Amino acid sequence: MNIKPKMLTLLCLVMPLGLAACSSNNSAQKQAAKAELKPSLLETIDGVWVAEKYISALKATKTPFVDHLESITVRAADKKLTWTNYHEGYGQAIGDSGQEGNLYFVSVAAPESTEPNFKKVHFSLLDNALIFLEPGITGQTNTRFVKINEDLPQYANKLLLAGKYKDSEGNNYEFTADGKANWPNMSFSYTFVLDPSEATCPYINTSIRKGEGETVRFGYKWLAGQLYFFDITADEAPISCAKLPLFSLTKL
C-alpha cells in the first residue's frame, strides 16, 4: 500500500494521542474499580466486637466471671446491631453511617419502631479497635472494643476449656471448640456460660437431663495449672460449686 508522506505524518501525530487517551481511560477505569471494591464503613466494622479489658481479664484470670463483659455485633448486610452483656441484650436498627472530621458515626434506633428516632453515636477507629465516645451503643465509653472472629462464648470456650486432658489416673478427657465433651464414662454437648448473675463459680450447661428434665450443670475452676470440675449445688446461690471437686485435669 502506497501512503503519501503527508498522510504518514498525520497518522504519526494522531496515533500517540489515541494511545494516550486509551491509557487515560484505562487508568480512570482502574481507579473506579478500586473505589467500588473499597468497603463501606459498615462493612469495615461488620462482626463481633468485645471490650478489650474483658478479654485481657479472661486470659489473666482463666474465668469468664470478670468485669467489663460486653460485646456488640454489627451486621452490615441487614443494617442491624445487637448489644449484650450475656445477662440481657437488645437490638437496634442502623440508619446512616459515615465520617465527620476525624470521627466516625452510626445512627441507631429501636428496630420495632414505626417512626424510628435515629441517634448518632460517634466513635474512633484506632489500631483496629472501636472506641465509642458517647453512650447509645455500648455501656462503656472511651473503652477499646476489639474484633473477634466468632461469638464470645465460643471464643472464651477455646481459651478456657477446649483441649485434651488427663486425670490423675490417666483417663482421657476432651472439650472441643464447638462444645462437645468426651469423658471416660460419657459424652455430651455443652453450652459455655458467661452470665454470672446467679452463680458463684463458672459453670457449663450440658445436654444431660435429670429425671425431671432438669439440665445437669458442672462447675469448674482453674487452680495452679489444674482444671477442677465440681457438682453444682444451691448452697450459696442458685448455682454454686460443691466444696469438694469431682476430679482435676492436666492439659496435654
- φ/ψ of 171, rounded to 5, equals -75, 145
Q: Is residue 11 part of a domain?
A: no
- For 117, the domain range is 41-153
For residue 64, give the nearest of 185, 154, 166, 149 by alpha carbon.
Answer: 154
Q: Is residue 25 part of a domain?
A: no
Question: Are 139 and 167 contained in the same domain?
Answer: no
Position 27 scores a pLDDT of 64
Position 125 scores a pLDDT of 94
Position 112 scores a pLDDT of 75
Q: Is residue 16 part of a domain?
A: no
Position 37 scores a pLDDT of 66
Report whether 205 contacts 189 (CB < 8 A). Answer: no
Q: Is residue 27 part of a domain?
A: no
Q: How far apart are CA 71 and CA 92, in angstroms?
A: 14
Mean pLDDT by 10 residues, the chain (252 residues): 51 50 58 63 97 97 97 96 96 95 95 83 95 95 97 98 97 98 97 95 96 93 97 92 97 96
- Other Cβ atoms less than 10 A from the Cβ of 135: the count is 11
Alpha-carbon torsion 50, 51, 56, 60, what sign? negative
Position 10 scores a pLDDT of 45
Number of domains in the chain: 2
Q: Which of 122, 153, 184 is the last residue before a domain boundary?
A: 153
Question: Are 149 and 167 contained in the same domain?
Answer: no
Q: How far apart are CA 14 and CA 105, in angstroms?
A: 51
Question: Are 102 and 180 contained in the same domain?
Answer: no
Position 182 scores a pLDDT of 98
Report whether 154 contacts 192 (CB < 8 A). Answer: yes
Question: Are 147 and 175 contained in the same domain?
Answer: no
Question: Are 215 and 234 contained in the same domain?
Answer: yes
Question: Are 130 and 184 contained in the same domain?
Answer: no
Question: Are 166 and 230 contained in the same domain?
Answer: yes
Question: Are 57 and 148 contained in the same domain?
Answer: yes
Task: Look up residue 243 and give its DSSP letter.
Answer: S
Q: What is the pTM of this model?
A: 0.82
